[in-house]
Structure 1
Protein backbone atom coordinates (compact mmCIF):
# COMPACT_ATOMS: atom_id res chain seq x y z
CA UNK A 1 0.00 0.00 0.00
CA UNK A 2 1.46 3.41 -0.99
CA UNK A 3 1.97 6.40 1.26
CA UNK A 4 -0.67 9.09 1.18
CA UNK A 5 0.43 12.56 0.03
CA UNK A 6 -0.13 13.92 3.53
CA UNK A 7 2.02 11.20 5.09
CA UNK A 8 4.78 11.77 2.55
CA UNK A 9 4.77 15.49 3.36
CA UNK A 10 5.08 14.80 7.09
CA UNK A 11 7.90 12.31 6.48
CA UNK A 12 9.85 14.80 4.38
CA UNK A 13 9.32 17.50 7.04
CA UNK A 14 10.72 15.23 9.74
CA UNK A 15 13.71 14.31 7.57
CA UNK A 16 14.46 17.98 6.92
CA UNK A 17 14.11 19.02 10.56
CA UNK A 18 16.07 16.13 12.05
CA UNK A 19 19.58 17.41 11.15
CA UNK A 20 18.75 20.82 12.64
CA UNK A 21 17.45 19.24 15.83
CA UNK A 22 20.56 17.07 16.11
CA UNK A 23 22.84 20.06 15.54
CA UNK A 24 21.20 22.17 18.23
CA UNK A 25 20.96 19.40 20.82
CA UNK A 26 23.01 19.95 23.95
CA UNK A 27 24.74 16.91 25.37
CA UNK A 28 27.79 16.12 27.48
CA UNK A 29 30.79 14.13 26.29
CA UNK A 30 32.85 12.07 28.72
CA UNK A 31 36.58 12.81 28.88
CA UNK A 32 39.45 13.70 31.22
CA UNK A 33 41.10 16.94 32.28
CA UNK A 34 44.27 18.08 33.98
CA UNK A 35 45.91 21.46 34.66
CA UNK A 36 49.15 23.26 33.86
CA UNK A 37 51.49 25.09 36.19
CA UNK A 38 51.16 28.86 36.40
CA UNK A 39 52.67 31.14 39.05
CA UNK A 40 49.69 33.50 38.94
CA UNK A 41 46.96 30.91 38.17
CA UNK A 42 46.15 32.71 34.91
CA UNK A 43 46.45 31.64 31.29
CA UNK A 44 49.62 31.88 29.23
CA UNK A 45 50.33 34.71 26.76
CA UNK A 46 52.36 32.32 24.60
CA UNK A 47 49.48 29.96 23.82
CA UNK A 48 49.27 28.20 20.46
CA UNK A 49 46.19 30.21 19.43
CA UNK A 50 48.25 33.41 19.24
CA UNK A 51 45.93 35.42 21.51
CA UNK A 52 48.75 36.92 23.59
CA UNK A 53 47.66 38.80 26.70
CA UNK A 54 44.00 38.23 25.78
CA UNK A 55 44.63 34.49 26.12
CA UNK A 56 46.07 35.02 29.58
CA UNK A 57 43.19 36.96 31.12
CA UNK A 58 40.03 36.48 28.99
CA UNK A 59 37.02 35.00 30.80
CA UNK A 60 38.63 35.80 34.17
CA UNK A 61 41.48 33.46 33.16
CA UNK A 62 39.17 30.44 33.02
CA UNK A 63 40.93 29.09 29.93
CA UNK A 64 42.28 25.80 28.64
CA UNK A 65 44.52 24.13 26.14
CA UNK A 66 42.89 21.37 24.11
CA UNK A 67 44.09 18.59 21.83
CA UNK A 68 41.56 17.26 19.29
CA UNK A 69 39.21 20.19 19.94
CA UNK A 70 41.96 22.52 18.70
CA UNK A 71 40.98 21.64 15.10
CA UNK A 72 44.17 23.06 13.59
CA UNK A 73 43.36 26.43 15.16
CA UNK A 74 39.71 26.67 14.13
CA UNK A 75 38.73 25.65 17.66
CA UNK A 76 40.57 28.63 19.19
CA UNK A 77 38.13 30.86 21.07
CA UNK A 78 35.48 28.15 21.45
CA UNK A 79 33.74 27.91 24.81
CA UNK A 80 32.91 24.77 26.79
CA UNK A 81 31.29 23.86 30.07
CA UNK A 82 33.57 21.37 31.83
CA UNK A 83 32.60 19.61 35.04
CA UNK A 84 34.34 16.80 36.86
CA UNK A 85 32.30 13.77 37.82
CA UNK A 86 33.37 13.05 41.41
CA UNK A 87 30.25 14.06 43.40
CA UNK A 88 32.15 14.44 46.68
CA UNK A 89 34.71 16.89 45.29
CA UNK A 90 33.13 18.53 42.24
CA UNK A 91 30.69 21.38 41.82
CA UNK A 92 27.60 20.47 39.81
CA UNK A 93 28.03 23.33 37.34
CA UNK A 94 31.77 23.00 36.80
CA UNK A 95 33.49 25.83 34.93
CA UNK A 96 32.95 27.60 31.62
CA UNK A 97 36.24 27.92 29.74
CA UNK A 98 37.62 29.52 26.58
CA UNK A 99 40.07 27.62 24.36
CA UNK A 100 43.31 29.63 24.09
CA UNK A 101 46.01 26.99 23.62
CA UNK A 102 46.92 23.53 22.35
CA UNK A 103 48.06 20.83 24.73
CA UNK A 104 48.12 17.07 25.14
CA UNK A 105 47.90 15.28 28.46
CA UNK A 106 47.22 11.76 29.74
CA UNK A 107 44.25 10.98 27.46
CA UNK A 108 42.82 14.40 28.28
CA UNK A 109 40.77 16.78 26.17
CA UNK A 110 41.41 19.76 28.47
CA UNK A 111 44.50 21.17 30.17
CA UNK A 112 42.97 23.85 32.37
CA UNK A 113 44.47 26.93 33.91
CA UNK A 114 44.82 26.52 37.69
CA UNK A 115 41.99 29.01 38.19
CA UNK A 116 39.65 27.02 35.95
CA UNK A 117 40.64 23.73 37.59
CA UNK A 118 39.85 25.22 40.99
CA UNK A 119 36.43 26.34 39.78
CA UNK A 120 35.43 22.71 39.16
CA UNK A 121 35.78 21.91 42.87
CA UNK A 122 33.27 22.29 45.64
CA UNK A 123 34.02 24.72 48.45
CA UNK A 124 37.14 23.65 50.37
CA UNK A 125 37.87 20.62 48.14
CA UNK A 126 40.23 22.23 45.58
CA UNK A 127 43.37 20.86 47.26
CA UNK A 128 41.99 17.31 47.07
CA UNK A 129 41.09 17.79 43.43
CA UNK A 130 44.58 19.08 42.59
CA UNK A 131 46.04 16.00 44.29
CA UNK A 132 44.43 13.80 41.66
CA UNK A 133 46.28 15.57 38.84
CA UNK A 134 43.96 14.10 36.20
CA UNK A 135 40.20 13.79 36.72
CA UNK A 136 37.26 12.37 34.81
CA UNK A 137 35.07 15.10 33.35
CA UNK A 138 32.16 15.67 31.02
CA UNK A 139 31.89 18.66 28.72
CA UNK A 140 29.61 20.37 26.24
CA UNK A 141 30.01 23.22 23.76
CA UNK A 142 28.31 26.41 24.96
CA UNK A 143 27.88 29.91 23.50
CA UNK A 144 30.62 32.40 24.37
CA UNK A 145 29.47 35.55 26.10
CA UNK A 146 31.54 38.66 26.71
CA UNK A 147 29.10 41.05 28.34
CA UNK A 148 28.14 42.88 25.17
CA UNK A 149 31.70 43.36 23.93
CA UNK A 150 31.93 43.87 20.18
CA UNK A 151 34.25 41.99 17.88
CA UNK A 152 37.84 43.25 17.83
CA UNK A 153 40.52 42.89 15.18
CA UNK A 154 43.92 42.77 16.83
CA UNK A 155 47.02 43.49 14.78
CA UNK A 156 49.41 40.83 15.98
CA UNK A 157 52.69 41.89 17.59
CA UNK A 158 54.66 40.18 14.82
CA UNK A 159 53.22 42.56 12.21
CA UNK A 160 55.57 45.03 10.50
CA UNK A 161 54.00 48.15 9.07
CA UNK A 162 53.44 48.44 6.13
CA UNK A 163 54.92 45.25 4.62
CA UNK A 164 53.47 42.45 6.76
CA UNK A 165 50.10 42.26 8.49
CA UNK A 166 48.96 39.52 10.87
CA UNK A 167 45.62 39.70 12.67
CA UNK A 168 43.59 37.72 15.17
CA UNK A 169 39.87 38.15 15.92
CA UNK A 170 38.91 38.64 19.57
CA UNK A 171 35.55 38.28 21.37
CA UNK A 172 33.63 36.11 18.87
CA UNK A 173 30.41 35.49 20.82
CA UNK A 174 27.94 32.64 20.36
CA UNK A 175 29.08 29.24 19.11
CA UNK A 176 30.86 30.64 16.09
CA UNK A 177 34.16 29.46 14.66
CA UNK A 178 36.22 31.56 12.23
CA UNK A 179 37.02 29.44 9.18
CA UNK A 180 38.70 31.98 6.87
CA UNK A 181 39.57 35.69 6.58
CA UNK A 182 39.86 37.75 3.39
CA UNK A 183 41.12 41.27 2.66
CA UNK A 184 39.57 43.47 -0.03
CA UNK A 185 41.97 44.82 -2.66
CA UNK A 186 40.52 47.99 -4.07
CA UNK A 187 43.01 48.04 -6.95
CA UNK A 188 41.69 44.78 -8.43
CA UNK A 189 38.18 44.85 -6.89
CA UNK A 190 38.70 41.41 -5.39
CA UNK A 191 38.68 39.63 -2.05
CA UNK A 192 42.04 37.95 -1.36
CA UNK A 193 42.38 35.17 1.21
CA UNK A 194 44.74 35.58 4.14
CA UNK A 195 46.94 32.66 5.18
CA UNK A 196 46.28 30.92 8.49
CA UNK A 197 49.75 31.36 9.97
CA UNK A 198 49.01 29.33 13.10
CA UNK A 199 46.23 28.99 15.63
CA UNK A 200 43.84 31.92 15.22
CA UNK A 201 46.44 34.14 13.52
CA UNK A 202 45.98 35.07 9.84
CA UNK A 203 48.60 36.96 7.86
CA UNK A 204 49.44 38.55 4.51
CA UNK A 205 52.63 39.97 3.04
CA UNK A 206 52.33 43.35 1.31
CA UNK A 207 48.75 44.08 2.42
CA UNK A 208 46.74 46.82 0.67
CA UNK A 209 47.58 50.41 1.51
CA UNK A 210 44.95 52.59 3.13
CA UNK A 211 42.25 51.42 5.52
CA UNK A 212 41.70 47.67 5.42
CA UNK A 213 38.31 46.04 4.88
CA UNK A 214 37.89 42.45 5.99
CA UNK A 215 35.39 39.70 5.64
CA UNK A 216 35.47 36.46 7.58
CA UNK A 217 33.74 33.15 7.15
CA UNK A 218 31.89 31.98 10.23
CA UNK A 219 30.50 28.52 10.97
CA UNK A 220 27.67 28.43 13.48
CA UNK A 221 24.03 27.46 13.92
CA UNK A 222 23.20 29.11 10.58
CA UNK A 223 25.86 27.13 8.72
CA UNK A 224 28.68 28.88 6.83
CA UNK A 225 28.21 32.62 6.41
CA UNK A 226 30.43 35.56 5.43
CA UNK A 227 30.50 38.66 7.64
CA UNK A 228 31.93 41.88 6.21
CA UNK A 229 33.77 44.53 8.20
CA UNK A 230 34.43 47.62 6.03
CA UNK A 231 37.38 49.75 7.13
CA UNK A 232 38.02 47.36 10.01
CA UNK A 233 41.66 48.43 10.42
CA UNK A 234 42.88 52.01 9.85
CA UNK A 235 45.52 52.92 7.28
CA UNK A 236 48.07 53.77 9.99
CA UNK A 237 47.64 50.49 11.87
CA UNK A 238 50.08 49.56 14.61
CA UNK A 239 51.35 46.18 15.79
CA UNK A 240 49.82 45.07 19.09
CA UNK A 241 46.74 47.30 18.83
CA UNK A 242 43.20 45.87 18.85
CA UNK A 243 40.61 47.79 16.80
CA UNK A 244 36.97 47.48 17.88
CA UNK A 245 34.28 46.89 15.26
CA UNK A 246 30.53 47.49 15.22
CA UNK A 247 29.94 43.73 14.89
CA UNK A 248 28.40 41.51 17.55
CA UNK A 249 28.19 37.82 16.72
CA UNK A 250 25.39 35.88 18.38
Structure 2
Protein backbone atom coordinates (compact mmCIF):
# COMPACT_ATOMS: atom_id res chain seq x y z
CA UNK A 1 0.00 0.00 0.00
CA UNK A 2 1.34 3.45 -0.90
CA UNK A 3 -0.12 6.93 -0.64
CA UNK A 4 1.16 9.31 -3.30
CA UNK A 5 1.59 13.02 -2.66
CA UNK A 6 3.64 15.77 -4.26
CA UNK A 7 7.36 15.48 -3.52
CA UNK A 8 8.65 18.53 -1.68
CA UNK A 9 12.35 17.70 -1.94
CA UNK A 10 14.01 19.33 -4.92
CA UNK A 11 11.28 21.91 -5.48
CA UNK A 12 12.77 24.64 -3.33
CA UNK A 13 15.28 27.23 -4.54
CA UNK A 14 18.91 27.47 -3.57
CA UNK A 15 19.63 28.47 0.05
CA UNK A 16 22.81 30.11 1.37
CA UNK A 17 25.03 28.21 3.82
CA UNK A 18 28.66 27.30 4.54
CA UNK A 19 30.57 24.03 4.43
CA UNK A 20 33.63 22.53 6.13
CA UNK A 21 34.93 18.97 6.24
CA UNK A 22 35.83 16.29 8.76
CA UNK A 23 37.46 12.87 8.76
CA UNK A 24 40.00 12.01 6.08
CA UNK A 25 40.06 10.62 2.55
CA UNK A 26 39.36 7.09 3.82
CA UNK A 27 36.27 8.21 5.71
CA UNK A 28 37.64 7.92 9.25
CA UNK A 29 35.34 9.58 11.80
CA UNK A 30 32.36 9.10 9.51
CA UNK A 31 31.36 5.55 10.48
CA UNK A 32 28.54 6.32 12.91
CA UNK A 33 26.91 9.40 14.30
CA UNK A 34 23.84 11.06 15.74
CA UNK A 35 21.45 9.50 13.20
CA UNK A 36 22.32 5.95 14.28
CA UNK A 37 23.74 4.91 10.91
CA UNK A 38 26.97 3.03 10.39
CA UNK A 39 27.46 4.86 7.11
CA UNK A 40 29.56 2.15 5.45
CA UNK A 41 27.63 -0.85 6.76
CA UNK A 42 24.32 0.78 5.88
CA UNK A 43 25.52 1.84 2.43
CA UNK A 44 25.79 5.64 2.67
CA UNK A 45 29.56 5.63 2.24
CA UNK A 46 31.37 8.94 1.90
CA UNK A 47 28.51 10.85 0.28
CA UNK A 48 27.48 12.15 3.69
CA UNK A 49 27.28 15.30 5.79
CA UNK A 50 26.80 16.37 9.38
CA UNK A 51 24.17 19.11 9.60
CA UNK A 52 24.17 22.17 11.82
CA UNK A 53 21.53 22.24 14.56
CA UNK A 54 19.28 24.50 12.48
CA UNK A 55 19.10 21.83 9.74
CA UNK A 56 19.39 18.68 11.87
CA UNK A 57 16.19 19.41 13.82
CA UNK A 58 17.08 17.02 16.66
CA UNK A 59 17.51 14.18 14.18
CA UNK A 60 14.23 14.59 12.32
CA UNK A 61 16.06 15.21 9.03
CA UNK A 62 18.35 12.18 9.25
CA UNK A 63 18.40 10.46 5.87
CA UNK A 64 17.43 13.55 3.89
CA UNK A 65 19.43 14.40 0.77
CA UNK A 66 20.96 17.68 -0.40
CA UNK A 67 22.57 19.09 -3.50
CA UNK A 68 25.42 21.47 -2.62
CA UNK A 69 27.63 23.75 -4.70
CA UNK A 70 30.50 26.03 -3.72
CA UNK A 71 29.89 29.72 -4.55
CA UNK A 72 31.57 33.11 -4.29
CA UNK A 73 34.96 31.98 -2.97
CA UNK A 74 38.48 31.86 -4.37
CA UNK A 75 38.65 28.33 -2.95
CA UNK A 76 35.80 26.99 -5.07
CA UNK A 77 36.92 24.59 -7.79
CA UNK A 78 35.88 26.17 -11.05
CA UNK A 79 33.55 24.02 -13.10
CA UNK A 80 33.12 21.50 -10.29
CA UNK A 81 29.35 21.62 -10.40
CA UNK A 82 27.51 20.23 -7.39
CA UNK A 83 27.59 17.22 -5.08
CA UNK A 84 24.78 15.26 -3.47
CA UNK A 85 25.01 14.04 0.11
CA UNK A 86 22.86 12.33 2.73
CA UNK A 87 22.42 13.74 6.23
CA UNK A 88 23.92 11.15 8.57
CA UNK A 89 25.21 13.12 11.55
CA UNK A 90 25.00 16.27 13.69
CA UNK A 91 27.58 19.03 13.62
CA UNK A 92 27.35 19.88 17.33
CA UNK A 93 27.14 23.15 19.19
CA UNK A 94 30.51 24.75 19.94
CA UNK A 95 32.05 27.90 21.35
CA UNK A 96 34.49 30.45 19.95
CA UNK A 97 34.77 32.22 16.59
CA UNK A 98 34.42 29.02 14.54
CA UNK A 99 31.00 28.04 15.92
CA UNK A 100 29.66 27.46 12.43
CA UNK A 101 27.11 24.86 13.45
CA UNK A 102 25.34 26.87 16.16
CA UNK A 103 21.79 28.17 15.58
CA UNK A 104 20.62 29.86 13.48
CA UNK A 105 23.43 29.10 11.02
CA UNK A 106 22.91 26.64 8.17
CA UNK A 107 26.06 24.58 7.78
CA UNK A 108 27.28 21.29 6.29
CA UNK A 109 30.28 19.44 7.70
CA UNK A 110 31.13 17.19 4.78
CA UNK A 111 33.16 14.02 4.57
CA UNK A 112 36.52 15.24 3.27
CA UNK A 113 36.33 13.54 -0.17
CA UNK A 114 33.02 15.30 -0.85
CA UNK A 115 34.35 18.71 0.20
CA UNK A 116 37.31 18.29 -2.14
CA UNK A 117 35.00 17.73 -5.08
CA UNK A 118 33.81 21.34 -4.86
CA UNK A 119 36.53 23.27 -2.96
CA UNK A 120 40.24 23.28 -2.25
CA UNK A 121 41.56 21.75 0.96
CA UNK A 122 43.27 24.96 2.11
CA UNK A 123 40.01 26.85 1.90
CA UNK A 124 38.86 25.15 5.10
CA UNK A 125 35.42 26.73 5.08
CA UNK A 126 33.57 27.95 2.00
CA UNK A 127 30.24 29.56 1.21
CA UNK A 128 27.82 27.20 -0.49
CA UNK A 129 24.29 27.04 -1.79
CA UNK A 130 22.09 24.01 -1.15
CA UNK A 131 18.67 22.56 -1.79
CA UNK A 132 16.76 19.43 -0.80
CA UNK A 133 16.63 16.77 -3.48
CA UNK A 134 14.99 13.34 -3.66
CA UNK A 135 17.16 10.48 -2.40
CA UNK A 136 17.99 7.71 -4.86
CA UNK A 137 18.52 4.28 -3.30
CA UNK A 138 19.05 0.75 -4.56
CA UNK A 139 16.71 -1.91 -3.21
CA UNK A 140 14.00 -1.66 -0.60
CA UNK A 141 13.60 -0.08 2.82
CA UNK A 142 15.83 -1.72 5.42
CA UNK A 143 15.37 -2.33 9.13
CA UNK A 144 18.03 -3.11 11.76
CA UNK A 145 16.69 -4.64 14.98
CA UNK A 146 18.11 -3.97 18.44
CA UNK A 147 16.93 -3.89 22.04
CA UNK A 148 15.63 -6.70 24.25
CA UNK A 149 12.56 -8.99 24.29
CA UNK A 150 10.40 -6.32 25.93
CA UNK A 151 11.72 -3.26 24.10
CA UNK A 152 12.46 -3.18 20.38
CA UNK A 153 14.60 -0.49 18.75
CA UNK A 154 14.46 -0.36 14.95
CA UNK A 155 16.81 1.63 12.72
CA UNK A 156 15.13 2.40 9.40
CA UNK A 157 17.54 3.17 6.56
CA UNK A 158 18.08 3.08 2.79
CA UNK A 159 15.02 5.33 2.46
CA UNK A 160 14.49 6.73 -1.03
CA UNK A 161 12.43 9.77 -1.96
CA UNK A 162 12.25 12.26 0.90
CA UNK A 163 14.81 10.18 2.82
CA UNK A 164 13.69 11.15 6.31
CA UNK A 165 10.96 9.29 8.20
CA UNK A 166 8.32 11.06 10.29
CA UNK A 167 6.23 8.13 11.46
CA UNK A 168 6.34 4.35 11.90
CA UNK A 169 3.89 1.67 12.97
CA UNK A 170 4.63 -1.95 13.77
CA UNK A 171 2.55 -5.10 13.84
CA UNK A 172 3.49 -8.49 15.14
CA UNK A 173 1.97 -11.56 13.50
CA UNK A 174 -0.25 -12.12 16.53
CA UNK A 175 -1.16 -8.47 17.19
CA UNK A 176 -2.49 -5.28 15.65
CA UNK A 177 -0.89 -2.10 14.35
CA UNK A 178 0.78 0.04 17.05
CA UNK A 179 2.57 3.39 16.67
CA UNK A 180 6.31 3.56 17.23
CA UNK A 181 8.14 6.50 18.83
CA UNK A 182 11.34 8.00 17.45
CA UNK A 183 13.97 7.43 20.13
CA UNK A 184 16.90 9.23 18.47
CA UNK A 185 18.14 9.76 14.96
CA UNK A 186 16.26 7.32 12.75
CA UNK A 187 15.85 4.73 15.52
CA UNK A 188 12.24 4.00 16.40
CA UNK A 189 11.09 2.12 19.48
CA UNK A 190 8.22 -0.19 20.33
CA UNK A 191 7.31 -1.68 23.70
CA UNK A 192 5.85 -5.11 24.34
CA UNK A 193 7.21 -8.55 23.60
CA UNK A 194 7.37 -9.02 19.84
CA UNK A 195 10.12 -11.63 19.95
CA UNK A 196 9.25 -14.74 17.95
CA UNK A 197 6.68 -12.94 15.80
CA UNK A 198 6.93 -11.94 12.16
CA UNK A 199 7.00 -8.15 11.94
CA UNK A 200 5.31 -5.74 9.57
CA UNK A 201 5.94 -1.99 9.28
CA UNK A 202 4.17 1.09 8.03
CA UNK A 203 6.68 3.83 7.25
CA UNK A 204 5.71 7.45 6.57
CA UNK A 205 8.24 9.86 5.05
CA UNK A 206 8.37 13.63 5.52
CA UNK A 207 6.60 14.18 2.18
CA UNK A 208 3.55 12.31 3.48
CA UNK A 209 4.04 9.10 1.51
CA UNK A 210 3.40 5.87 3.38
CA UNK A 211 4.60 2.36 2.52
CA UNK A 212 3.37 -0.81 4.20
CA UNK A 213 5.69 -3.81 4.32
CA UNK A 214 3.95 -6.98 5.47
CA UNK A 215 5.97 -9.67 7.24
CA UNK A 216 9.25 -8.07 6.16
CA UNK A 217 10.89 -9.60 9.25
CA UNK A 218 10.44 -13.39 9.67
CA UNK A 219 9.46 -14.89 13.01
CA UNK A 220 12.94 -16.34 13.65
CA UNK A 221 14.65 -12.92 13.68
CA UNK A 222 17.43 -12.12 16.13
CA UNK A 223 18.68 -8.86 17.60
CA UNK A 224 21.46 -7.35 15.49
CA UNK A 225 19.99 -8.58 12.21
CA UNK A 226 18.82 -6.36 9.39
CA UNK A 227 16.08 -7.05 6.87
CA UNK A 228 15.21 -5.54 3.49
CA UNK A 229 11.71 -5.01 2.16
CA UNK A 230 10.62 -5.24 -1.46
CA UNK A 231 9.33 -1.66 -1.62
CA UNK A 232 10.80 1.81 -1.42
CA UNK A 233 9.56 5.32 -1.94
Greater C-alpha radius of gyration:
1
Deviation track 1:164-195 (CA, whole Å, cap 9, x = no partner) reads: 321111211122431111112555x5321122
Please state how far the C-alpha of 1:63 moved relative to its aligned partner.
Answer: 0.5
Q: TM-score of the superposition, structure 2-length normalised? A: 0.80
Match of 1:29 among 15, 23, 27: 15
Alignment correspondent of 2:217: 233
**C-alpha distance 42-247 of structure 1, shift in aligned 2 (>3 A):** farther
The 8 Å contact of residues 43 and 158 in structure 2, kept in 1 or not, is answered as: no
Matching of residue 140 in structure 1 with residue 131 in structure 2: yes
**Alpha-carbon distance in 1 for matches of 2:8, 2:178:** 35
Structure 1 stretch displaced more, 63-72 or 24-33: 24-33
The 8 Å contact of residues 62 and 186 in structure 2, kept in 1 or not, is answered as: yes
In structure 1, stretches of 5+ residues that fail to align are: 1-19, 122-128
**SS, match of residue 174 in structure 1:** coil
**Alpha-carbon distance in 1 for matches of 2:162, 2:29:** 21
Alignment correspondent of 2:202: 215
**C-alpha distance 92-73 of structure 1, shift in aligned 2 (>3 A):** same
Runs of 4+ aligned residues of structure 1 deviating over 6 Å after TM superposition are 20-24
**Alpha-carbon distance in 1 for matches of 2:20, 2:29:** 14
Deviation track 1:173-225 (CA, whole Å, cap 9, x = no partner) reads: 122431111112555x53211221101001123342410111122232xxx24
Matching of residue 155 in structure 1 with residue 145 in structure 2: yes
The 8 Å contact of residues 184 and 212 in structure 1, kept in 2 or not, is answered as: yes
Alignment correspondent of 1:77: 63
In structure 2, stretches of 5+ residues that fail to align are: 1-5, 93-98
**C-alpha distance 113-184 of structure 1, shift in aligned 2 (>3 A):** same
Alignment correspondent of 2:111: 113
Alignment correspondent of 2:96: none
Alignment correspondent of 1:193: 179
**Alpha-carbon distance in 1 for matches of 2:216, 2:231:** 10
Matching of residue 96 in structure 1 with residue 84 in structure 2: yes
The 8 Å contact of residues 42 and 57 in structure 1, kept in 2 or not, is answered as: no
The 8 Å contact of residues 42 and 114 in structure 1, kept in 2 or not, is answered as: no
In terms of fraction of residues, the more helix-rich structure is 1
Tell me: higher relative CO, structure 1 or 2? Use CA pairs within 8 A at least 6 residues apart: 2
Q: TM-score of the superposition, structure 1-length normalised? A: 0.75
**SS, match of residue 61 in structure 1:** coil
**Alpha-carbon distance in 2 for matches of 1:52, 1:21:** 27
